[in-house]
Amino acid sequence: MNERIKLVRKALKLSQDEFGKKLGVTRGAITNIELNKTEPKPLFVELICNTFDVNEAWLKTGKGEMFLQKTRSEAIADFMVDMLNEEETSYKRRFIEMLANLSVEEWQLLEKMAFKIAKKED
């Protein structure tokens, strides 16, 4: 399992320090796990799975896919949570707030424009 934890970290393109910070542990703790010096506790395994949408069966046994497959609604919900944690002045947040304030007619216009762009790319 220790090697699979390392594979998760690398798949996420995180350093040991970044990975550890997201999980509330030190870089040294991650190093010790990856070098098989420490066996991860069950709660830590659960934290990895919940934090990074890792398939717990894969993490424990190597069977199945590394990451859980999200529904479209779950992916949108996760995006919205991340967006709400953005700074109020960030482009992503301001853009979503602008979309939230569009009228029905503006949404229809936006849809027409998107279709035009899609046709040009064919």
Phi, psi angles (nearest 5°) of residue 115:
-65, -40
Tokens of 104: 């029905």
Contact 52, 20 (CB under 8 A): no
For residue 67, what is the DSSP state?
B
Q: Please state, as a whole number, how many other Cβ atoms lie within 10 Å of the Cβ of residue 27.
A: 14
Distances from the Cα of 24 to the Cαs of 17, 21, 54, 59, 120, in angstroms? 10, 5, 17, 19, 47
CATH number, domain containing residue 50: 1.10.260.40
What does the pLDDT look like over 35-51, one tens digit per residue? 999 999 999 999 999 99
Q: Are residues 116 and 79 in the same domain?
A: yes
Same domain, 32 and 54: yes
pLDDT band at 121 (very low <50, low <70, confident <90, very high): confident
Domain extent at residue 110: 72-121
Domain co-membership, 46 together with 84: no
Are 46 and 97 within one domain?
Answer: no
| Residue 67 placed within a domain | no
pLDDT value at position 57?
Answer: 96
Pick the range with the lowest mean pLDDT from 7-11, 15-19, 38-42, 88-92. 88-92
The Cα diameter of the chain in Å comes to: 61
The answer as to whether 66 is a domain residue is no
* Number of domain units in the chain: 2
Statement to judge: residues 57 and 6 lie in one domain: yes
- Cα–Cα distances (Å) from 33 to 25, 45, 107, in that order, read 11, 11, 50
Shortest CA distance to 21 belongs to which of 52, 46, 43, 42?
52
Q: What is the pLDDT of residue 122?
A: 65
Entry pTM: 0.65
Q: In this structure, are 16 and 48 located in the same domain?
A: yes
**Using one digit for the tens of pLDDT, what is the confidence trace for 71-84?**
999 989 989 988 88
6 and 39 belong to one structural domain = yes
